[in-house]
Amino acid sequence: MGNKATVIGSGSWGTAIASLLAINNISVSIYCRNNSIAEDINSHRKNSAYFPGTALPEGIQATGNLLEALNHSDTVYLVVPTKFIRSFILSKMDVWRNACSSNSLLINCTKGLLLEPTQRTDDWLAQTLPGPELLHLSGPNLASEIMAGLPAAAVVCGRPQAAALVQQQLLSERFRVYTGTDMVGVEVSGFYKNILAIAAGLLTELGLGNNARAALITRGLAEMSRLTEYFGGDPASLSGLAGLGDLIVTCSSELSRNFQVGMRLGRGQGLAQIESEMTQVAEGVQASRALHEWPADHGLEGWPDLPIAEEVYSIVHCGADPRAALSRLMTRPPRSEATRS
């Protein structure tokens, strides 16, 4: 299990994970839905669709055959946009059942929430694919920087022995990997920071300053903490790489897809135009809608106060004026900073 790995998804993050594995002399099979990407990787050691000027490490073999990819190893990194996970896995359930045994590890590398019905991705994967052992990988990891060889860090959460195996596969001088056990906190951090990154892009485009960005990150972290408690996670996890770390980078960098969405909304562009012109998925768009719809699907009992997330939803999906949304946030009733609900 240790010297082979499978990556499902050949977008920017899937390619980066495959590269991190390959530089550690891990034999990688990467599943590509797009045959031209598979051909590019196999013939030219490049993924020109996402990193046209970057040569991939040796040891990466691409395939459009899911069974072939899954049969390559018992360690599977799932790097598929959240909006496609259900349809992708359900359409190939016979392959997953045949290839993934109880000895397999399935590492969820996504940062989103499922819709129709709303559900956490880890919960759905555990219910739908009961065979493999589930883990979750997350952190402040901009794929373009990783492909450029710049240093970064991440956390992999799950059963300690399994997390340690994944840690060893990815760990290198340029990629520091920590282990943890709070899969819930890490998953909530991953999808919630994308919602906040949209807000950060809006603030930046509207020229509202660094103080506003700092307030957004801090109060957004408070909302993230409430939501983590609601789902049964440990708010202490949010001070780590998947929480505060990822929140800082995605709320500060134009390399973040969700930050880009916020900036374009701030220029007056509509969601349909933005999504049609983006070549990759900004997970915060679906996550903001999923959180808004969560109480209708699961009930209001215990549901936390998430004013920033609600205003992002109103801007992204209802066309609300960003400055009016900011005014609503700034004129909410006074309260203690320590209020938990």
Question: What span, in angstroms and rounded, lies between the C-alpha atoms of 94 and 100?
Answer: 10
193 is catalytic: yes
Whether 338 maps to a domain, the answer reads no
Catalytic residue among 4, 46, 83, 193: 193
Whether 341 maps to a domain, the answer reads no
Same domain for 157 and 303?
no
Same domain for 105 and 34?
yes
Cβ pair 105, 75 in contact under 8 A = yes
Cβ pair 284, 175 in contact under 8 A = no
Give the CATH number of the domain where residue 115 resides: 3.40.50.720
Sheet holding 133-138, edge to edge: 60-63, 27-31, 4-8, 75-78, 105-108, 133-138, 152-157, 175-180
- Give which of 165, 170, 216 is closest to 20, Cα–Cα: 170
Domain that holds residue 192: 188-330
Same domain for 112 and 235?
no
Give the CATH number of the domain where residue 200 resides: 1.10.1040.10
DSSP letters for 51-120: BTT-PPPTTEEEES-HHHHHHT-SEEEE---HHHHHHHHHTTHHHHHHH--TT-EEEE----EETTTTEE
DSSP category for residue 47: B
Last residue of some domain: 139, 158, 181? Answer: 181
Residue with the two structure tokens 């219910």: 127
- Give which of 147, 146, 142 is closest to 45, Cα–Cα: 147
What are all long-range contacts of 292-301, with beta carbons under 8 Å and residues at least 24 apart? 292/317, 293/115, 293/118, 294/118, 297/117, 297/118, 298/118
Lookup: tokens for 225: 């903490």
Q: Which pTM was predicted?
A: 0.95
The per-residue pLDDT string of the chain (341 residues; one tens digit each, 9 = 90 and over) reads 569 999 999 999 999 999 999 999 999 999 999 999 999 999 999 999 999 989 999 999 999 999 999 999 999 999 999 999 999 999 999 999 888 877 899 999 999 999 999 999 999 999 999 889 999 999 999 999 999 999 999 999 999 999 999 999 999 999 999 999 999 999 999 999 999 999 999 999 999 999 999 999 999 999 999 999 999 999 999 999 999 999 999 999 999 999 999 999 999 999 999 999 998 999 999 999 999 999 999 999 999 999 999 999 999 999 999 999 999 999 999 999 988 76
Q: Name the domain count of the chain.
A: 2
Same domain for 166 and 208?
no
Same domain for 148 and 33?
yes
Q: Which residues, listed in sequence order, are joined to residue 176 by a DSSP beta bridge? A: 153
Looking at the chain, the number of H-run helices and the number of E-run strands are 16, 10
